[in-house]
Structures are given as structure tokens and as C-alpha cells.
Structure 1
Amino acid sequence: MQDKTLEQTGEVSPVSLDSCSNLNTYNWLQDIPDTARSFDIVEVKFKNTRKGFYRNVHQLRLKKGDIVAVEASPGHDIGIVSLVGELVALQMKKYRVDPEDENMKKIYRRAKEADLQKWKEAIRLEHSTMIKARKIAADLNLDMKIGDVEYQGDKTKAIFYYIADERVDFRELIKVLAEEFRIRIEMRQIGVRQEAGRIGGIGPCGRELCCSTWIANFVSVTTGAARQQELSLNPQKLAGQCGKLKCCLNYELECYLDATRDFPDGSIVLETEEGPLYHQKTDVFSRMMWYSTEKESAGRQVCLSVDRVNEIIAMNRKGIPVKKIIEEVVNIGVAPGQTGNDLHNDDPERFSKNRKKKGGSRKRGKNRPNRKEKRNS
């Protein structure tokens, strides 16, 4: 899609400039005059999730969306200005980058027509280079997957992003790639979540993947987050497109932890005069807990409030007998007045083969003239 835009219009795809991406930063100081020149460091974004901070040594009047040529090692790279002014200082503080670093790379100039032409040619080479690199890695029997390739703006260097479960000796691979493509090779390992963020996609919620839009730092997600929220431990529903647990499982976890702070442990058995009660499920929002008289079955259940459960646990610890609390036992199964199917209100004989059909008989020979008789008439 990006290549097609470059070939047809000769311009940079607007997707790289204005899409919902975690590279985008809203500049809420843009309407204040002279804020762009108050800080001499500019934030520049490149392909997918790569960003960098560069010193504006020539005091160029830059704004968001400008294409610039920046210092690289070796040569130069082409990037798009994503943020200028005082907000860059906040971004550097967020990523713990020292603004006084003397080794910080600098901006050379605004990109010229020749720079843009070479940059577009480099972008067109990335997909074919990735396919060839995958074949070369397979021929060398390397247990790794090359997920993406990013060319430097001057076509002198390329970064190969790969995924591997174990340590991989790719020294021979680098030699073969350098001979094949005649460029400097840099291998950079990423995880499956970073790969999903670089590729992008649509999640089961119908929105763009969080890892490709706004998540910058990945936090580990465990099945405990799903248990805390009383979610079904179905791997197919809990896993994202990367194959790992969905990052969104952590979004409401703190709210659930705060709401269940005074909830008793579900492993505690309630002792009553009618016998023990075993925990089955918890409704966090209504603060109700369901207990059953049978440990392995949910045939007879009683619903208690969290406060009542805490009261019973306190009485058990003090040895105070708990009187009858199961006033209304819920039978799990077919409710009274219901049949075994969802259509119990309809006629139960509606599927009977012997049932007489309405609208008269449609059998051949009845109420239907013979074809020969019809022709003769």
C-alpha cells in the first residue's frame, strides 16, 4: 500500500504522517508562538516504531511533518519531524535521554529532491529484501524469523528485525546478506509483541492494535489478571494476534484489585449447621458470592453478600455455630415450566413427520391436473 502510493503520487504516504500510531505525539503548545525555537532538539520518527532525538544545530525553522536528513552511522538517514519545542524536553525525560549529551546526532538539512528519491527507492526494496533474507536464513538452517527490514535513507545500510526463541549465531548470515545486497547489515532482535506492533492489524474489539497505536513500553501479562477479573481461562479468547496474552487484560486490573480488596479468599470453606459451603463464583460489581453445598458440582447454590461471607468466616474462626442460612436453594438445570430446548413455548409437535400440513396437500396427483390432460385441453 505504501509502495503504491509512492509510485502513483511521488509523495510520502499520509499514513506515515497522520495515522493513529504510537509514533504520533500531540503538540498542545503548537499555537503558542516561538515555542518551536525555544528548544534546539527535535524528535524525528522513522519506519514503524523507531524514533530518535536530534540536535537542530543549524536552527532550521521546522514543524511537525517536515522531512529532514539526519546524521546516521554511517551516512545519513531520512526521517519525519514528529515533535518540536518544549514538549521534546518532556519526551526526553520520559525516555531518560540526556539533553546535554555531546554525542547526540544532529539534523543536516531539510530533505532535498535527490534525498527523497533515494529514500523512496529504499522503501520499495524493503519487502523483497525481507523475502530473500528469510530464504537465506532457511537455507542456513537458522532457527529464527526475519520479521521486518528497514533501509537507511541513503541505501547504505539496512536493519533486519528478527525473532528467535534462543540465541542464534548469525555471523554467517551477515556475510551472506552483505554479499547479496551490497550494504551494511545490522541485526536487531525483537519479541513477538514488538513484531505485532510493527506489522499492525485489527484486534477482536474492532480497533487498531494497542501495540501499534499507543503502547510504548510492554508490561508482562499473567493469567492471574484474568482470574482476578473472573474471566474464562480460554487461551483462544485471552491471546492476542501475537499469540501472547492480550495487553488489555491489565487495563482494568487495578480497578478490580481495589474493588476486591475486602473480598474473602475463595478457597475458604464456610462451615454451617447444614454442612460445608464451597465457593463457586464471585460477582464483583454486585459484591455477591455464590457457594454450593457440593464441592465438585454446582447443583445446589446459595448467594451471599461479601459482608455476610466475612461475618460467617469470623464466626467459624471463633467457633460460633452458624445457623441455617440456605433459605432459598437454586437448582441449576431446567427451570420449572421449561422443556429441554429454547423453543419450549412453541408447539412441541411442530417437527413431527406425521403432522398434517396446512394449506392443503401438495402431493403429486391431488388437486393438480395431469400434464397430458392439460395439453389436450
Structure 2
Amino acid sequence: MASQGRNGNGNGYAADDDPIRVGDLVIVEADRGKDLGKVVNDTITLGEVEVFWAGQQRFGSGQSPPTSPGGADGGGGGKKEIAPKMIYGKAGAGDAQLLVAKMQDELKALALCQTKVRAKKLPMEVVDAEYQWDRRKLTFYFVAEKRIDFRELVRELFRLYKTRIWMASLQGANSFEV
């Protein structure tokens, strides 16, 4: 398994030695915080991940392998690194209720953002909103014909939600953070 258990032993077990299996909901390391994920493979090795990413590049999927900032050589070229994420443990029974509340809050955030976009007459369509599990980040997914200056929108959303706002374009590799 590519991720370490919260006890740091790297064997995919939570601290209580309860094995993590396919289908389990787990709390995982995310962008400057924690997120909720579902285990889809509990036997993958680092070598298999490297082969998968090499195949993705060769067949032109448009995705690139995960890298450390600047790549392994620090300069953007050279060998790419795969950065496994920490598994903190299985999601608890109460986390299902938190998931429902999170989804409801995402729908409210989406509707509010769409209203603000219309009011500002921005040439974009906001199609989804997603909170990171720990609510340290709120991502809005959008479609637009061209690059848009949405800095004022992001400032307004930050004032309302008091969390990091990320605008992600669904047109390709362009995603914008403010």
C-alpha cells in the first residue's frame, strides 16, 4: 500500500490494528488538511503506481503523474516523484452524518456562488462546489470560454465562508487559486 497508517508503520492499518480494506471510508491527508476518501485498492505497490503513471503518459490521457514541487531535480524537468498520502484512519460512525451536512452545505455554496456570478455578469458557469473534509478549502468547479478575472468574486466568497477558496476550470489543466 502506498500510504502509511496513522501509526506510521506503512502497513495500511489504523492505530487500532483494524485492517483497511477496499470500500472503507478513510480520513486521508489532503491539501493542507484532511479529506474523506474511499479505498479502491488495498494491495497496490509503489512499482504498480509508477507503471500506471508511465502508461498514462504514453497513451496521452492528458494527466501527468503526481510530482513534488519542481519535480525530483527541483527544476521542473527530470524524474517525477510520487507523493503518497497519509491515511489517518477509518471514518467513524458519526462521519456519515457529517458527510450529509457537508453535501448540503456544498449545495448552498454552489447556489450562492452561481447567484453572485450572475449578479457580476461573469462569463462563466459554476457547476459544482466541494468542501475539503476539514473545511479548510472550498473548491468551485466552473466552465468558461476564456480566462476570467474572478478575484473580486473570490474575495467575496472568502469573506462569507472564511476558508480558502479554489476556482477549478473543467476545461483542462487550468485551475486558478487565489
Band the TM-score falls in, shorter-chain normalisation: 0.5 to 0.7
Distance 1:93 1:180 in 2: 44
The match for 1:259 is none
Distance 1:64 1:185 in 2: 31
Matches within 5 A, 1:2-81: 40-41=1-2, 54-56=3-5, 57-58=8-9, 59=11, 60=13, 61-81=19-39
Give, in angstroms, the shift of residue 134 of structure 1. Answer: 0.6
Give, in angstroms, the shift of residue 76 of structure 1. Answer: 0.7
Using the size of structure 2 for normalisation, the TM-score is 0.68
- Determine if the alignment matches structure 1 residue 122 to structure 2 residue 102: yes
Pick the aligned partner of 1:141 from 121, 133, 147: 121
Distance 1:78 1:112 in 2: 11
The match for 1:171 is 151
Give, in angstroms, the shift of residue 154 of structure 1. Answer: 1.9
- After superposition, the C-alpha distances for 1:103-131 in whole angstroms (9 at most, x for unaligned) are 43211111123444333311121222111
Counterparts in 2 of 1:98 and 1:144: CA distance versus 1, 3 Å: closer
Q: Is the Cα–Cα contact under 8 Å of residues 118 and 155 in structure 1 kept in the other structure?
A: no
Distance 1:176 1:65 in 2: 38
Pick the aligned partner of 2:135 from 140, 155, 168: 155
**Structure 2: tracts of 5 or more residues without a match:** 14-18, 55-64, 68-79, 173-178
Q: Which has the higher contact order (CA 8 A, sep 6+)?
A: 2
Q: Is the Cα–Cα contact under 8 Å of residues 66 and 83 in structure 2 kept in the other structure?
A: no
Give, in angstroms, the shift of residue 182 of structure 1. Answer: 2.7
Counterparts in 2 of 1:87 and 1:102: CA distance versus 1, 3 Å: closer
Distance 1:176 1:81 in 2: 36
The structure with more radius of gyration:
1
Distance 2:89 2:28 in 1: 7
- After superposition, the C-alpha distances for 1:61-120 in whole angstroms (9 at most, x for unaligned) are 221100100012222101110112137753543234479947432111111234443333
Matched AA of 1:127: L
Q: Is the Cα–Cα contact under 8 Å of residues 71 and 107 in structure 1 kept in the other structure?
A: yes
How many residues are matched? Answer: 141
- Determine if the alignment matches structure 1 residue 132 to structure 2 residue 112: yes
SS in 1 for 2:39: strand
Counterparts in 2 of 1:147 and 1:92: CA distance versus 1, 3 Å: farther
Counterparts in 2 of 1:177 and 1:91: CA distance versus 1, 3 Å: same
Counterparts in 2 of 1:86 and 1:79: CA distance versus 1, 3 Å: closer
Matches within 5 A, 1:273-288: none
